[in-house]
Every structure is written in structure tokens, then in C-alpha cells.
Amino acid sequence: MTSDEACMGEALKEARLAAQAGEVPVGAVAVFQGKIIARAGNTVEADGDATCHAEIRLLRECAAVLEDWRMEDVEIFVTKEPCAMCAGAMVNARVKRVVYGMPDPRSGACGSALDVTGFSGMLWQVEVLGGVRQEECGALIRDFFRSVRLRKRDESPGKA
């Protein structure tokens, strides 16, 4: 598992599983020494916990596998640009690099709306690469929210 595209393909698998479970389809994988050591998807709805983003769950799993919270040699692949919470957690965990698919101009914190990962005042900066398999990652999220809107419309009062 060496190419960014192949690793993002694995993150997309996790995102699809999250979508099947009714979660916002964001998936992530962690790579250490060329091997995937952890996988996660969003479980916000299932867990009833706003912090159960794919990236946070992934960092917890990585820490358990590595038996260390420091992740200087870990690369994270995630289908959507991390939010401020997730980007901040990656900075605190000292993640080496985050690679994301779809940018998030409204709340992405790896350079789009904010730059938490590269903020010079932090004790650690995370290397960032965005746009890997961007169209595929974006289509997954767009399709998910389109289906949610259609379902809500069909369930609204007055619909037969």
C-alpha cells in the first residue's frame, strides 16, 4: 500500500460503509511503515456523539495499535478535508501527513476555511495534500445528501 490513490481507495471503502449505516460518508485509514494499521468511518449517529468523526476514531485506534499517542510517522488518508476538531487532534497527535480527497471550503481546517494543521503558532505542523481522488470523494458525499433530502421530502406531511 504505497500510492496515495490506493490508500484513498481504502478510505473510500470506509466511507461507503459509513453511508450504508446512515452516517455522513467520511472514511479514513492510517498508514504506518507502508501498511494500513487502522480504519474508521463516521459513527456520530450510531454513537450519539459529535466527536465520533472518522478521524478521531482513527487516531484512537492508531494510539491503541502503536501503544503511543505520538504519530510522527503516521499518514492519515481521509475522504473529506478534516474539520477544526479533527485537524487539531492530528496536530496534537503529531501526525506526519494528512491526505484528503474533497476540500471543504466552509469548515475545512487543513487550508480551505482554516489552517489548523499549518498554523505557525502550533508546536507541530502536519504536512497536507488535498484533492486525491477528489471527484470520487465529493460524489459520495453529494449523493448521500441528495438521498437524505429526497427521503425527507418524501416523508414530509402531505406526501402520498
The closest alpha carbon to 89, from 130, 53, 49, 36, belongs to 53
Q: Look up 55 and say whether it is catalytic.
A: yes
C-alpha to C-alpha distance for 145 and 134, rounded to whole angstroms: 17
Residue for cell digits 485537524?
87
Catalytic residue among 5, 10, 14, 55: 55
Residue for cell digits 459529535?
50
Q: CA torsion 37→140→144→76, rounded to 10°?
A: 30
C-alpha to C-alpha distance for 23 and 17, rounded to whole angstroms: 9
* Residue 61 burial by Cβ neighbours in a 10 Å radius (0-12, 13-18, 19+): middle
Indicate which residues carry an active-site annotation.
Answer: 55
